[in-house]
Structure 1
């Protein structure tokens, strides 16, 4: 969990090399960096799903990701080297993770296996 929290802290601060900084400033969707972000978000959801209180910085970060990434990538001129379905699945995954984070449970029937994106 510590590695996941460090990854999210780096991402939510948009530090150099982060998915969010590359996406926002360079208009580059780094598939590997997205996967790292998504896995860290999922790990944190798993560990905090029974928590009564959530750290504000994490809540702000999840909110930021689920609201800003779709709007940043919605522009018709945003470069999309991958098939459109890939981006749609990623945006849906971010929404699912934010929902899980804030509600404490994901919307899928167990056992559920999260597909790789």
Structure 2
């Protein structure tokens, strides 16, 4: 989980080259960077399943991603990735991951396989 936390720290700080910084400033949806972010978010959710307390920086990051990414990309002029189903699945995944992070469990019946996006 340490590697995933490092990825999230980089992303949530919007460091140069991060998915979030490129999305916001360059209007670029980088599929590879999104997949890396999404996998890290999943790993941290699984690793913190039993946590009684959540670090503020992580909580703020999950909230930020789940609320701001859909907002930023909702603009009609935003160059959304194709196909539309991929984009919709990504936005849904971010919401699902934030929900999992805050609740400590996801809403899917086990065994559940998270499809790669």
Fold-level match, TM-score > 0.5?
A: yes
Q: Which residue of 2 aligns with 1:55?
A: 55
TM-score with structure 1 setting the length = 0.99
**Moved runs in structure 1, 4+ residues, more than 4 A?**
none
Cα distance in 1 for residues equivalent to 2:81 and 2:59: 31
Q: Which residue of 1 aligns with 2:84?
A: 84
Cα distance in 2 for residues equivalent to 1:83 and 1:35: 16
Query: Aligned Cα RMSD in Å?
Result: 0.6
TM-score with structure 2 setting the length = 0.99
Q: Which residue of 1 aligns with 2:105?
A: 105
Q: Which residue of 2 aligns with 1:33?
A: 33
Structure 1 unmatched runs, 5+: none
Q: Which residue of 1 aligns with 2:6?
A: 6
Q: Does residue 67 in structure 1 map to residue 67 in structure 2?
A: yes
Q: Does residue 19 in structure 1 map to residue 19 in structure 2?
A: yes
Shift of 1:80: 2.3
Native 8 Å contact 2:8 2:37 kept in 1: yes
Cα distance in 2 for residues equivalent to 1:81 and 1:115: 18
